[in-house]
């Protein structure tokens, strides 16, 4: 399947497909007559890349994670550490947003209390 076909079928932006190709992570991808051809294992890896982007990994983090993934089971600890770090960062962001909501609600309460007086 070509880059355009993969992009359309799996709703993967061409930018991400090109990035994937540039990393040299597509071992099973073959260049035929000037265009890349993707197989199912490439699509699985691309799905992982999309997920990593969706959860907030930077391009460098995605590339590092994918290189570790391709190295195999021996890198599970490192990959779990990366995911744990991202999870902890996300929890910190959630807690910060909760504090913002509390402050926002307090200000709203103060305004509403003033209007009733």
Question: How many domains, in total, are found in the chain?
Answer: 2
Q: Is the pLDDT of residue 88 over 80?
A: yes
Same domain, 32 and 64: yes
Q: So what's the pLDDT on residue 11?
A: 83
Q: So what's the pLDDT on residue 34?
A: 62
96-115 mean pLDDT: 94
Same domain, 4 and 19: yes
Q: How would DSSP label each residue in 41-91?
A: HHHHHHHHHHHHHHTT--HHHHHHHHHHHHH-GGGHHHHHHHHHHHHHHHH
Rounded Cα distance, 2 and 81, in Å = 34
Same domain, 65 and 79: no
Q: So what's the pLDDT on residue 117?
A: 65
Same domain, 18 and 66: yes
pLDDT tens, 43-77?
888 889 889 989 999 989 998 999 999 899 999 99
Enter the pTM of the model.
0.73
Same domain, 13 and 64: yes
Same domain, 59 and 2: yes
End-to-end CA distance of the chain: 69
Q: Look up the domain containing 36 and give its range.
A: 1-71
Look over the chain and give the mean of its residue pLDDT values, rounded to a whole number: 86
Same domain, 62 and 33: yes
Same domain, 5 and 27: yes
């Amino acid at each position: 399947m070509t880059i355009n076909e993969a992009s359309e079928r799996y709703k993967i932006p061409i930018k991400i497909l090109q990035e994937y190709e540039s990393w040299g992570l597509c071992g099973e991808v073959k260049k035929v007559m000037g265009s890349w051809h993707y197989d199912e294992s490439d699509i699985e890896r691309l799905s992982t890349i999309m997920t990593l982007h969706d959860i907030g990994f930077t391009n460098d983090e995605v590339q590092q994670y994918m290189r570790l993934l391709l190295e195999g089971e021996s890198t599970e600890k490192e990959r779990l550490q990366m995911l744990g770090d991202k999870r902890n960062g996300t929890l910190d962001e959630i807690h910060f947003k909760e504090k913002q909501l509390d402050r926002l609600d307090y200000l709203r309460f103060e305004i509403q209390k003033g209007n009733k007086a």
